[in-house]
Structure 1
Amino acid sequence: MKITKIETLEIDLSGQNGLDLWRPIYVRIHTDEGISGMGEASLAYGTASEAIAPMIRILAERFLLGQDPNDTETLWEIMRQRSFWALGGGPVIFGAMSALDAALWDIKGRAAGLSVHRLLGAKTPAPLRCYASQLHFGWTDESLMLNDPAEFRETAQIARAEGYDCVKLCPVYVDANGERIRKRGVFTPAERKLARSRMEAVREGIGEECDIIIEWNSLTSTSGALQLADYFSDLNILFMEEPTHYNSPEAQIKVSRESSIPVGSDYIPDGDS
């Protein structure tokens, strides 16, 4: 089997259903045996999505065309070493490589008649616990930016009614006027009060039998994360995710050591993770 064609799919959903910036990038790899596979890059938001599709095409055309898609490990190392810059990592080049790698595994699974999790060693014992994520964007077909504490309560209750026993949300994504919060450092009394009221509304809405994860999205600095962690310490928070920038493990370690709330690290593909 040989790789014959690479196709990128750029889907710009920005501005639809309340979304600010959302541009998923997919790749489809075709083979001479009629089997194709798909993968997705991980930079649908932010300002890097425009760079992903060209990077996917460049890597595929230079290193994958004509190759056997079953040689996933070899092809990964070829892209990593011969591109030179992948040796230093980075979200654009690693995001492109990951999308191509996923498409190669998709081809391998289709050719073998097996799901990818079987190829990787079968599934883990069921059941796995799942949580309702990103509730500050709502929990319906339409993406929202929740503002009022009552909206947070109602949204959490919807997720709870669907059977989730854990929810994740960011209480500082927007300010009292619904505008994105873009700041570093400590929060003002008014900002703390608003964030607290949102978290209290969620806890009141779902009760004590449902866990809460705080999603910081790297929006907070070390001082701000520690300040709010202390402010929320009585709300029985399961853990808080990405309280500081993902490229600063020292800051995350500091927050982890000084906060009473456990810290969850990031999953951003920076090349060093």
Structure 2
Amino acid sequence: MATIERAEVLVTSPGRNFVTLRITTSDGVTGLGDATLNGRELSVAAYLREHVAPILVGLDPQRIEDTWQYLYRGAYWRRGPVTMAAIAAVDVALWDIKGKVAGMPVYQLLGGQSRRGALAYGHASGSDLPSLFQSIRNHLDEGFKAIRVQTGVPGLGQVYGVATDQKPGARYDYEPAGRGVAPAEEAWDTRSYLRHIPTIFAAVREEFGYDLPLLHDGHHRMTPNQAAILGKSLEPYDLFWLEDCTPGENQEGLRRVRSQTTTPLAIGEVFNTVFDYQTLITEQLIDYVRSAVTHTGGITALKKLMDFAAVYQIKSGFHGPTDVSPVGQAAALHLDVSLPNFGIQEYMKHSDDTLRVFRTGYTFEDGLLHPGDAPGLGVEYDDELGATFEYSPAYLPVNRLQLDGSMHDW
């Protein structure tokens, strides 16, 4: 019987910082897992190296469920982004190994395909309407069939999630993690935002019509009452979803939003376990689960979460920015094509350097993503090239209120 012989933590930075776990079995089969936690990457790397990797050696790599329980329930300290990212990396690497041993892509082990591919949405943004319209056209030219719309706000400077440089014919995905020893600071004013956003969606619908699915991310910046106001004001523009309208850890706050608007709600990219969703799902306060495989305990945990959500007609909308590595994106795609309650998949194309370090088998065609049919996840890691991109600190920006400079949710 094969056992786990080695667990290596690989840190590379081909444009973004990534943490990858590679597990090797005694018969030479390898599996990759994503352990990237944006702005806190080295904390997960240390957790894996110092606390997880040593206890994996000698375990049976085929016992995925038991290993997940061992790492989660066996430890005194549970949950949290660092722990769950580490567990996710182990879990995904073991699914990669199981697929390779079986000679099948992971989605076949999850029950096979439920669809031809996963509908993806891209990130269109602009500091004003002309640049936003150009960004939308660029994404449509790339083949996207659904678009997230983010915009600058008059009177504010740089706004998180909004690109300032849009060129005809070239899709630009905003990279918000700035290199440096501390985060950049941005100014924010919620009242200006609430006045401005409905005018943007009115203009986008006038220009592009109502057939195009449109999404918007509130980045946790509103109180429940403010979120309800925004959801109501956006109803005429038929959004696919309003994402992270208010901090989701206050699960009861979503009752206020839900009672006041019919705009579909998506939440959860900063959640780590099913317990973060318990009230939201059982009371049907959301429509889409936004977790990433990388940050929610891996394929094993997210599959169970989506089975729970399916009972309440809630669909998936997995987190897929470029600070989830191609390994994490591939893991999401295997779930996407197999889940009966799939909704949509976020997709930001990684940099050319990243895709040289992580050689991927997934495809994007006619608006749909597919994980490919290679055994396992379908991603390979180039050690030699990865070693040339050294880690450097990078952080998402922080928000301060424009009025008085006090800290605010970003």
- On whether the aligned pair clears a TM of 0.5, the verdict is yes
Q: 1:26 to 1:201 in 2, by over 3 A?
A: farther
3-state SS of paired residue (1:5): strand
Bigger relative CO (Cα 8 Å, ≥ 6 apart):
2
Q: What is the letter of the counterpart of residue 74 of structure 2?
A: R
Q: Could you say if the C-alpha distance between residues 235 and 40 of structure 1 is closer, same or farther in structure 2, counting changes exceeding 3 Å?
A: same
Taking a change above 3 Å as real, the CA distance of residues 106 and 152 of structure 1, as seen in their structure-2 partners, is: same
Instruction: Name the count of aligned residue pairs.
Output: 249
- Counterpart-to-counterpart distance in 1, 2:256 and 2:194: 21
Q: CA deviation at 1:106?
A: 0.4
Q: CA deviation at 1:173?
A: 8.5
Task: Report what 2:32 is aligned to.
Answer: 38
2:265 maps to which residue?
263
Instruction: Note closer, same or farther for the CA distance 1:246–1:49 as it changes in structure 2 (3 Å cut).
Output: farther
Specify which of 187, 190, 194 is matched with residue 190 of structure 2.
Answer: 187
How far is 1:53 from its partner? 1.0
Equivalent pair of 1:149/1:198 in contact (CA under 8 Å) = yes
Instruction: Report the CA distance between 1:179 and its aligned residue.
Output: 4.2
Q: 1:65 aligns with which of 37, 42, 57?
A: 57
Task: Write 1 or 2 for the structure with the bigger share of helix.
Answer: 1
2-side partners of 1:55 and 1:201: how far apart?
Answer: 48
Q: Within 2, Cα distance between the matches of 1:72 and 1:59?
A: 18
User: SS at the partner of 2:73?
Assistant: helix
Q: Which residue of 1 aligns with 2:110?
A: 120
Correspondent of 1:80 among 72, 75, 78: 72
1:180-222 per-residue CA deviation (whole Å, 9 max, x = no partner) reads 4565xx832x433443343334333432111111122323321
2-side partners of 1:28 and 1:85: how far apart? 24
Given that 1:148 and 1:198 are in contact with CA atoms closer than 8 Å, whether structure 2 keeps it comes out as: no
Q: TM-score with structure 2 length normalisation?
A: 0.55
Aligned to 1:147: 127
TM-score by length of 1: 0.80
Give the 3 Å change call, closer, same or farther, for CA 2–23 of structure 1 in structure 2.
Answer: same
Given that residues 225 and 256 in structure 2 are in contact (C-alpha distance below 8 angstroms), is that contact kept between their aligned partners in structure 1? Answer: no
Counterpart selection for 1:108 from 80, 95, 98: 98
The one-letter code of the counterpart of 1:231 is: S
CA contact (8 A) 1:41 1:95 kept: yes
Matched residue of 1:232: which SS?
Answer: helix
Partner of 1:2: 3
> What residue ranges of structure 1 are gaps of 5+ in the alignment?
17-21, 137-145
Once residues 194 and 218 of structure 2 are traced to their aligned partners in structure 1, the CA distance between those partners, rounded to angstroms, is 14
Distance 1:3 1:216, change over 3 A: same
Q: Is the 8 A contact 1:243 1:252 kept in 2?
A: no
Taking only aligned residues, the RMSD between alpha carbons, in angstroms, comes to: 2.5
Greater fraction strand: 2
- Of 218-227 and 109-118, the range deviating more from structure 2: 218-227
